[in-house]
């Protein structure tokens, strides 16, 4: 087999990039034949195909997927943007989403956006430059420029973990406002008169907080104290929240609604450290039903959103659009469920 010497780039730097032409020279065929073998192998003789495959293995050549996508108008790449890769709420539905997409031959390009719409906008532009066949976004609030780019790309887009009657294309999720109201109704049924909220720095969590507070007061509750975290949810932030509520706002009894189970876990630890009984003095409600929630002491009352079902539903919606089947619904409401355990 021919030994190909590395080419010299300008300035004397050695360029070791293997091209389709390199593979062709080693296999003794034209670049056109190599291209045909990669895109339509059934149109190349078995002997020639074997020589090309051997050349590819010898050189480690990787075809240019973007160039292939431009030619075939299909990249078999689907991109997904989520606020956090470490938060189980997001990573769990991305896992089932990815598994379903891979079953149908699609690969996933995943990025973490954080909670700043400007960072999301930058990543949307970067992902669209890869010519994906479809895109998954978390949430329904995006910059005007992001919406413009997505509409201009003319690809299937599914927005998850939220609901709107005017999605970019499709949305799969639940109503954060209705979830907040349902928790408030549940809290009032417990008979408590005072409430507090502990909320991470997340626009969706803020909507649950506001809906909870409004409904709780409308339903006859006396007061709602609010503690907003500066950053993401964590056990440390939960401990700090209860400390502030007790020491600075005099919150000694009632119900606390946390925007995540991680925050609720921190509140529970701080309550136990202070000798505050849960649930007799403070009832505690989380959000997300993470795996540990049922195993705390007392077990955590929380709000369940079926993340596995969400991931599958989002994938199925995109697959229907990509493959040109029956048009999926523009809005899929998966709902939520309050899981009552010992903390409330």
What is the tens place of the pLDDT at every residue in 81-99? Answer: 999 888 888 899 999 999 9
- Predicted local distance difference test score (pLDDT) of residue 41: 85
With respect to residue 2, please indicate whether it lies within any of the assigned structural domains.
Answer: no
Q: Copy the structure tokens of residue 60.
A: 């480690």
The predicted pLDDT at position 260 comes to 96
> Could you report the per-residue pLDDT of 200-218, keeping only the tens digit for each?
999 999 999 999 999 999 9
In the chain, the percentage of residues whose pLDDT exceeds 90 is 71
- DSSP-derived 3-state class of residue 283: strand
Regarding whether 89 and 78 lie in a shared domain, the answer is: yes
Look up the pTM and report it.
Answer: 0.78
Structure tokens at 217: 């007061």
Mean pLDDT within 269-283: 97
Are the beta carbons of 92 and 307 closer than 8 angstroms? yes
pLDDT level of residue 244 (50, 70, 90 thresholds): very high
Question: For 28-68, how does the pLDDT look when each residue is reduced to its tens digit (9 = 90+)?
Answer: 999 889 888 887 888 889 999 999 989 888 887 766 655 55
Same domain as 265, residue 194: yes
Q: How far apart are CA 333 and CA 51, in angstroms?
A: 53
> What is the rounded CA–CA span in Å between residue 231 and residue 229?
6
CATH code where residue 321 lies: 3.40.50.2300
- The verdict on 85 and 167 lying in the same domain is yes
Q: Which structural domain range is residue 30 located in?
A: 7-63
Domain assignment of residue 341, yes or no: no
195 and 295 co-located in one domain: yes
Contacts of residue 326, Cβ cutoff 8 Å, sequence gap at least 6: 320
Nearest Cα to 112, choosing from 84, 134, 135? 84
For residue 51, give the CATH number of its domain: 1.10.260.40
- Same domain, residue pair 24 and 97: no
Domain count, the chain: 3
Q: So what's the pLDDT on residue 7?
A: 45
Average pLDDT across the chain, whole number: 90
CB 202 within 8 A of CB 83: yes
Q: In this model, does residue 248 exceed pLDDT 60? A: yes
Residue 242 is assigned to a structural domain of this protein: yes
Mean of the pLDDT values across residues 58-79?
A: 68
CA distance 164 to 331: 7
- Please check whether residues 59 and 160 belong to one and the same domain: no
Q: Which of 63, 91, 108 is the last residue of a domain?
A: 63
Bridge partners (DSSP) of residue 77 are 107
Residue 1 lies in a domain: no
Tokens of 194: 């005072």
Same domain, 182 and 167: no
Enumerate the β-bridge partners of residue 197: 226, 257
d(CA 343, CA 147): 42
Domain match, 202 and 321 both: no
Mean pLDDT score, 224-235: 94
């Amino acid at each position: 087999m021919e030994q190909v010497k590395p080419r010299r780039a300008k300035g004397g730097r050695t360029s070791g990039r293997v091209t389709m032409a390199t593979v062709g020279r080693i296999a003794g065929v034209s670049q056109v034949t190599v291209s045909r073998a990669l895109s339509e192998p059934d149109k190349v003789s078995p002997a020639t195909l074997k020589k090309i495959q051997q050349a590819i293995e010898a050189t480690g050549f990787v075809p240019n997927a973007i160039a292939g996508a431009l030619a075939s108008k299909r990249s078999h790449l689907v991109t997904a943007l989520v606020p956090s890769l470490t938060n189980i709420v997001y990573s769990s539905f991305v896992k089932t989403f990815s598994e379903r997409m891979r079953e149908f031959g699609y690969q996933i390009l995943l990025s973490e956006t954080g909670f700043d719409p400007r960072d999301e906008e930058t990543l949307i532009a970067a992902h669209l430059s890869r010519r994906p066949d479809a895109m998954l976004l978390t949430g329904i609030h995006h910059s005007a420029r992001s919406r413009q780019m997505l509409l201009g790309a003319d690809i299937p887009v599914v927005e998850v973990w939220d609901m709107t009657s005017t999605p970019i294309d499709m949305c799969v999720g639940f109503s954060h406002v209705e979830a907040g109201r349902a928790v408030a109704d549940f809290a009032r049924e417990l008979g408590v008169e005072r409430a507090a909220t502990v909320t991470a720095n997340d626009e969706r969590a803020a909507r649950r907080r506001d809906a909870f507070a409004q409904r709780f007061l409308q339903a006859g509750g006396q007061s709602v104290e609010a503690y907003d975290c500066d950053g993401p949810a964590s056990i440390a932030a939960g401990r700090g929240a209860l400390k502030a509520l007790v020491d600075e706002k005099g919150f000694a009894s009632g119900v606390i609604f946390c925007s995540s189970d991680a925050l609720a876990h921190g509140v529970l630890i701080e309550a136990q450290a202070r000798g505050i009984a849960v649930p007799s003095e403070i009832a505690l409600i989380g959000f997300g039903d993470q795996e540990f929630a049922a195993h705390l002491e007392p077990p955590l009352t929380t709000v369940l959103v079926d993340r596995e079902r969400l991931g599958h539903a989002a994938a199925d919606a995109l697959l229907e659009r990509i493959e040109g089947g029956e048009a999926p619904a523009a809005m899929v409401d998966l709902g939520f469920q309050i899981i009552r355990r010992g903390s409330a």
